[in-house]
Structure 1
């Protein structure tokens, strides 16, 4: 129908329909027919928006560096945003009648830039190059507190810092410095390794010397123990020899006493025998010769008697005229002698 077009918004767009300056409808994803002559439509995107940024800044020590990142934000109070900025559509119902909607991202990025710039300008180059995550936390904290965004009904969802880089010349200088530092660390590591090797070698040498000293002490203890054992054995042997000698001395003394006693006994026996012999001899001296001969003949063997008889014949040979001796007389004596 001429002059009565149809408008339809998606669910991520907040629509405010005004007729003759008065709000008639508002909400997400509205659709309606409207009179172009009397109706104005404001559409505010309420989905999350992403805006990348690159800031060329200067550190406290006057070194140029670049900060790259991205901020994600969202319009949470579209009515307040529509009051502060012009989000009205042209009569075609498609394009914005002003450039205000395009400035939302710039407003958020400028707020981020202010925070980043203040932080970087108060930090040295080396400190600023390490600000990544701390800077993100600081941006989140300060953006939530900024009235300019709050008044526009905008809230920041997420902020990220993708890179903080110095200028090319500064980067080369830092690379050279880091390279030298790495080389120095390598030299220090080599020195430390050599020092550690020397210390370990010294430790091993000391351990070997300590072990050798311990072995020598043990050997000395063993030698002293051996000498002490030998002394003990020698002392024991001497005591045993002394005891044996004492035993032999006692045995010899006992033997001496025995010999003395034996000699005394033998002497007494000899005296007794001598006394008996003297008494026998005395008795023999007092007996007649014929009696003694008779006693002697009584204890003789037949062959002894024959010998005595022949002796007697020999002594009285001048008195014998003729003597006949029969061989049979000697046969028995010879046989007996042969048997014995």
Structure 2
């Protein structure tokens, strides 16, 4: 049987063909015939590989902690990987000749564990339980810079953390402590709510008292304004009454002055009339009685003259023997009197 076989790799496998210790061909997805007696084939998978991990570590305060996650990587430099590890196939070209390909994930995870352990040992439990993404980014950067990773030709793609948990006993203790803290926060919240309610009630009562005080002040101000207005009205009425009395006093004073002046004027008029009458009487005394009588009769109307004539007849009736007066005289006098009345 001839020692000639055919090998074909897929596109995700990097192949290095070595004949008598000399590299003849290398690359991804190669296919070729080879002599099993003189040829060795190294097949390195260059696709992305995921390695889950669980680390049981201790913190700086000697507490157990478990970190679960996943590390994604790939072989970026298969030549370095082939030099650092044995990825040669057996003579049949189907299986690996050694266990190094199966240990690649384990070795990368051990490098990661070493870096993470260095970080966790410097942290207390509480701080380790709340590791943020920034810290894991630094862990990832340190892992990429690890010499072992570079020697194996591996490229770190992504590091993700699924869970960070303490031991069950520690978890119960933390839960109890946290529960007490939550209960205390709840009590504080109830106290704060009651305190807030009391403060709000006090604020409401103060506002009500302030409102009542303001209303009382307003009512007092209104009452004071009313009293002040009444006082002003009374002052105005008193001033008006005083002015009215003063006006009456002034009026009476003016009336008194007027009466005094009028009396004086009347007195002067009376004196003038008396003087005129006295002068007339003196003039009349100088005249005879017949002349005065004739003078007065000259200013009388016919009826008055007739009345005086009859009065004279009556006074001298003993001296008159007989007097005849016709009807025409009395008729004319009556008609004239009636005409004057009409």
Using the size of structure 2 for normalisation, the TM-score is 0.85
Pair 1:14 & 2:4 matched: no
> Match for residue 103 of structure 2?
103
Q: Residue 241 of structure 1: CA displacement?
A: 7.1
Q: Residue by residue, what CA displacement relative to the aligned partner does 1:146-205 show, whole Å, maximum 9, x if unpaired?
A: 112212222211101011122334334433433333333233223222322332333344
Q: Residue by residue, what CA displacement relative to the aligned partner does 1:107-157 show, whole Å, maximum 9, x if unpaired?
A: 111122222233333333322211152442232022022112212222211
> Match for residue 269 of structure 1?
269
> Match for residue 174 of structure 2?
174
Q: Residue by residue, what CA displacement relative to the aligned partner does 1:191-239 show, whole Å, maximum 9, x if unpaired?
A: 2223223323333443444455455555666666666667677777777
Q: How far apart, in 2, do the equivalents of 1:240 and 1:165 lie?
A: 101
Q: Residue 38 of structure 1: CA displacement?
A: 0.4
Q: Residue by residue, what CA displacement relative to the aligned partner does 1:245-302 show, whole Å, maximum 9, x if unpaired?
A: 7777666666555544443333332222211111111111111111111122222232
Q: How far apart, in 1, do the equivalents of 2:56 and 2:305 lie?
A: 172
Asked if the contact 1:73–1:155 (Cα under 8 Å) also holds between the matched residues in 2, the reply is yes
Q: How far apart, in 2, do the equivalents of 1:199 and 1:327 lie?
A: 131
Q: How far apart, in 2, do the equivalents of 1:192 and 1:112 lie?
A: 48
> Match for residue 311 of structure 1?
311
Q: Residue 80 of structure 1: CA displacement?
A: 1.5
**Helix, strand or coil at the partner of 2:57:** strand
Pair 1:39 & 2:49 matched: no
**Helix, strand or coil at the partner of 1:319:** coil
Asked if the contact 1:53–1:70 (Cα under 8 Å) also holds between the matched residues in 2, the reply is yes
225-234 vs 181-190, which moves further: 225-234
Matches within 5 A, 1:150-165: 150-165=150-165
318-327 vs 31-40, which moves further: 318-327
> Match for residue 322 of structure 1?
322
> Match for residue 146 of structure 1?
146
> Match for residue 203 of structure 1?
203
Matches within 5 A, 1:43-122: 43-122=43-122
Q: Residue 35 of structure 1: CA displacement?
A: 0.5
RMSD: 3.0
Q: How far apart, in 1, do the equivalents of 2:170 and 2:150 lie?
A: 39
Q: How far apart, in 2, do the equivalents of 1:96 and 1:175 lie?
A: 50
> Match for residue 290 of structure 1?
290
Q: Residue 60 of structure 1: CA displacement?
A: 3.5
**Helix, strand or coil at the partner of 2:74:** strand
Q: Residue 96 of structure 1: CA displacement?
A: 0.4
Q: How far apart, in 1, do the equivalents of 2:61 and 2:134 lie?
A: 20
Q: How far apart, in 2, do the equivalents of 1:192 and 1:329 lie?
A: 138
**Helix, strand or coil at the partner of 1:317:** coil
Q: Residue by residue, what CA displacement relative to the aligned partner does 1:16-73 show, whole Å, maximum 9, x if unpaired?
A: 1111112122222222111000001111112221100112233334433321100111
Q: How far apart, in 1, do the equivalents of 2:136 and 2:195 lie?
A: 44
**Helix, strand or coil at the partner of 1:300:** coil
Asked if the contact 1:116–1:135 (Cα under 8 Å) also holds between the matched residues in 2, the reply is no
Q: How far apart, in 2, do the equivalents of 1:211 and 1:2 lie?
A: 114
Q: How far apart, in 2, do the equivalents of 1:250 and 1:322 lie?
A: 74
> Match for residue 190 of structure 2?
190
Q: How far apart, in 2, do the equivalents of 1:214 and 1:339 lie?
A: 95
Using the size of structure 1 for normalisation, the TM-score is 0.86
**Helix, strand or coil at the partner of 2:4:** coil
